[in-house]
Homo-oligomer: A and B are copies of this chain.
Amino acid sequence: MSDVAREAGVSVMTVSHILNGRPRASEATRERVLSVVAELGYEINLTARNLRAGRTDSVALIVPSFHDYFGAVADRLALLIEASNRHLVLERTAANAQHEREALSLARLRMYDGVLLSAYGISYAELELIGKAVPLVLLGEREMPADLNHVRLDNEEGARLATEHLLSRGARHIAVLGGRFDPEQSMASSRREGWETAHREAGLSTDPRLVVPVAEYAMADARTAMRQLLDSGLPVDGVFAVTDVLAHGALAALGERGIRVPDEVQVVGFDDLDVDEFVSSGLTSINPNHDQLAATAVRLLEQRIAGGTAAEHVVTPVSLVVRGSTR
């Protein structure tokens, strides 16, 4: 910057003013400085600016891994964040709790003006520390500290909708594939609860043997689990899979056994992936409404960045999308 100043015959401060778009320079000076900038190929040093200004104009979205469903949300978040002249960058924590803590060093997080965090294994105490160090919005299924912003899907309602739909179409032995009985709140246990709620509302009871855990939330594991369920001899005429990936694994298992969908077994997933429309006659699913999730998260984050201290816990709505895998 001092090179530019010298070459343009002004002080460093004038260059700085002009580059930051402050309206204090005469048109002549401005043009001269900008032409010198172009001529010398000068680029501002953002690290120095960040240090001096105390902000980076960037926001981090921190996720367990890049290949999950986060991509869909991240693109929407990026647009919203760019609208307020900030920059979204993604970081990953490496899904195990050990690495999660390292990746989440406060020092790194403080490099951002705000942080959107989807974390699994972090304790409340650590989250509180992070929330004190940097404007923070938590994403995800777990119960979270009341004084931190938190946005999540309405997992239970989505599961309730899915199960209610299956019940209304005549299914009476509905397995919940990937469901779990976790002690703490999790995606899998919330969705299992919604499955129970729908039964209760219909005056029906649930059979815990129809809660079918899945090893890794991958298609192959779901297919294996579905095969075992079919082999078990338990009557099954409906499957609510807690994610679409699992639902596709289930469809594969049903297909290889020659079991017709939806005539013999109906299937509902959760996520409304693009691919749902393209398997056989389509997979009925729950649309997670990522747009609203993203908009809410950004709104809360910007409140915090602006100095607000209020914390909200927002649950965004989901909806049922009926396709050919249910009657």
Interface of A toward B, CB cutoff 8 Å = 43-48, 50-51, 56, 60, 65-68, 70-72, 74-75, 78-79, 82, 87-92, 94, 105-108, 110-111, 133, 218-220, 223, 245, 248-249, 251-252, 255, 274-275, 277-280
Contacts and interface: CB of A to CB of B under 8 A. Distances in A.
Contact of A45 (B74, B79, B110): B110
B68 A71 contact: yes
B71 A274 contact: no
Given A75-B65, A89-B91, A48 B51 contact: yes
Contact of A111 (B46, B68, B133, B274): B46
A94 to B, nearest CB: 7
A153 to B, nearest CB: 18
A219 B75 contact: no
B87 A43 contact: no
B47 A219 contact: no
A321 B49 CA distance: 51
Contact of A66 (B75, B245, B277, B280): B75
Contacts of A89: 60, 89-91
Nearest to A106: B43
A275 B219 contact: yes
27 contacts: A45-B110, A46-B107, A46-B110, A47-B51, A48-B51, A65-B71, A66-B66, A66-B70, A66-B90, A67-B71, A67-B74, A67-B75, A70-B71, A75-B92, A87-B91, A87-B108, A88-B92, A89-B91, A90-B90, A90-B91, A219-B274, A219-B277, A251-B278, A252-B277, A275-B275, A279-B279, A280-B280
A46 B108 CA distance: 7
Nearest to A44: B107
Which are the 3 A-B pairs with shortest beta-carbon distances? Answer: A67-B71, A90-B90, A66-B74
Contact of A248 (B79, B252, B278): B278
A250 to B, nearest CB: 9
Contacts of A219: 274-275, 277-278
A271 to B, nearest CB: 13
